[in-house]
Amino acid sequence: MTRRRRSSRAAAATAVLTGCALLLTGCGIKRTGVIESGHAASVKVPGAGKNTVLYFVSKEGDRLVPTPFTLFDGYTLGPAALVRLLLDGPTGRAGEAGLTTALPRLPSGTADAVAVSPYAQERGMTVRVPFPVGDLSALARKQLVCTVGVSAVADTLSPVILQGTDTTLPSDECDLNR
């Protein structure tokens, strides 16, 4: 008897408390965590697709930032020149925007030591640089692979083999988003 009464009373109290809690938690506009909501915005970049793109590193140093530049119509830039430009680091607006690079500077007088083999269907291209590549960070390797792989051959994503003074890295492909 007593126990039943107590339990029924407890149930009633719980109901009332739940109601109050509902009421209280329901009030106002609560903060939330970060909630993902759909895809990113695609902007139009003038000349995208035809542009030659150098990949530098974001200010935070955690991902690549594409830095397209436009050559005058009809001009193309050879892959080796492209690598050299990349190795020069962000300049101009890219530098002003605070972009960085993970690659070492090209020691002076070794600019000619940069070479890129012609594109082959199966092997892609081989980039030879005058510094060790074994110690390069993943981001740095990605800078080279993407810049060469995306921009050297129009409309083609080419695999790239990095060949440094110390070693030759296995063939790699630019994988920007992943």
Which of 85, 111, 157, 163 is the binder for another protein (CB under 8 A)?
Answer: 157
Which of 61, 97, 110, 120 is the binder for another protein (CB under 8 A)?
Answer: 97
* Residue 4 touches another protein, criterion: CB under 8 A: no
CB of 147 to another protein, least distance (A): 13
Token reading at 94: 């890219």
CA distance 84 to 67: 15
CB of 97 to another protein, least distance (A): 4
> Site size for another protein, by CB under 8 A?
56
CB of 1 to another protein, least distance (A): 11
Buried b (16+ CB within 10 A) or exposed e, 130-161: bbebeebeebbbbbbbbbbbbbbeeeeebbbb
- Helix 79-88 crosses helix 138-151 at what angle (to 10 degrees)? 140
CB of 73 to another protein, least distance (A): 17
* Residue 108 touches another protein, criterion: CB under 8 A: no
Which pairs with CB-CB distance under 8 Å and at least 24 residues apart come from 59-63? 59/98, 59/99, 59/100, 61/100, 61/102, 61/139, 62/139, 63/139
CB nearer to another protein: give 17 or 120: 17
CA distance 62 to 139: 8
* Residue 45 touches another protein, criterion: CB under 8 A: yes
CB nearer to another protein: give 88 or 115: 88
CA distance 139 to 150: 16
Binding site for another protein (CB under 8 A): 2, 6, 12, 15-16, 19-20, 22-23, 26-46, 48-49, 51, 53, 58-60, 62-63, 65-68, 90, 92-94, 96-99, 150, 155, 157, 176-177
